[in-house]
Amino acid sequence: MNLKPVLHAEWLKIRSLRSLCATLAAVFVATVAFSVLACATLDPQESARPDFDPLRTSFFGLDFGQIAAICFGALAVAGEYRSGAIRVSLTAVPRRGLFWVSKLAVVGALSLGVGLLTSLTCFLAGQPFLGDRGLTLTDPGALRGVIGCGLFLCLITLFSAGLAAVLRSAPAVMGLLIPFLLMVSFVIGDLSEDGGAVEFLPDRAGRQILLQDATGTLGPWSGLGVLALWVGAALWAGGRSLARRDA
C-alpha cells in the first residue's frame, strides 16, 4: 500500500465530518473577528506608546483561534477512538506508521492552509485601522509575522493531534492544552521577573514570531523552533502510542 490512497482516505474523513469542518472554519472566523475588533477599537493613546507593536496587534485574536485549532487537532485524531473507527482504519491500513504519517500530513496541510489565510486576512484587515502606525507587508518583520502566525496555528494543531494519540480523548486534550496555553504559562511568566525557562514554554516561545522586534533570549525563528521541538516530541509520543497499544 502506498501513501496516496491513505492520504485520500484521511482527507475524506475530515471533509465528511461537520464537526471537523466547523472547528477548522472557527480558526479563521475567531482569529480574524477578534483581531480586527482589537485594531478597530484600539485606544489612540495605546498606539502612541513607544513600545506599541502594530504587528502583534494584528494577531490579537490568535488566543481565540488557537482554541479552535486545538479542538480540530484533538477531534481529528481522538474522534476515531471514541467512535471505534480506529479499528476499521487500522484494518484497512495495517502499517500504523503509514497511517499516522498520512493523518498528520492531512491535518497539518489543512491547518497550515487555513492558518496562512487567517494570518494574511488579519494583517490586511487590521493594519488600516492603526493609521500612521500601520504596517505593510514590505515593512521589516511584517511578512515574517504573517507566515509565522500561520505556522504557529499549524504547529499548535499538530501538538494537539500528538497528545490526542497518547490520551485518546479529545476532551482530555482540550482540558489540558487550553488552560495551559491560555492561562498557566502566562501566569508563570508574569510571576517570573527574568523570564528564564518560562521563555521555552511552547506558546511563549512560538509567539516570538509575532513580534516586530522580538525581545528576550529567543528570536522569532528560534522561538518557533522551540515550539516545533515540543510538537515533535508530542508527535513522537503519539506515534509510539499508536504503534504499541491496541486499538
Q: Which three cell numbers stand for residue 168?
A: 485518546
Give which of 191, 194, 210, 174 is closest to 68, Cα–Cα. 174
**CA dist., res. 13 & res. 92, Å (int):** 14
> Measured at the alpha carbon of residue 143, what is the angle toward residues 190 and 225, in degrees to the nearest 5?
50
The C-alpha cell at 64 is: 481565540
Interior CA angle at 193 toward 189 and 199, to 5°?
Answer: 45
Cell 504499541 locates to 244
Listed by start position, the domains of the chain span 3-244
pLDDT at 160: 96
Answer yes or no: is pLDDT of 192 > 70: no
pLDDT band at 180 (very low <50, low <70, confident <90, very high): confident
Asked if the model's pLDDT at residue 186 lies above 80, the reply is no
How many CA atoms does the CB half-sphere of 130 hold within 13 Å?
25
Q: How long a stretch of residues is the chain? A: 247
Mean pLDDT over 119-123 rounds to 95
pLDDT tens digit sequence for 125-160:
999 988 888 888 988 889 999 999 999 999 999 999
Give tens-digit pLDDT for 4-35: 889 998 999 999 989 999 999 999 999 999 99
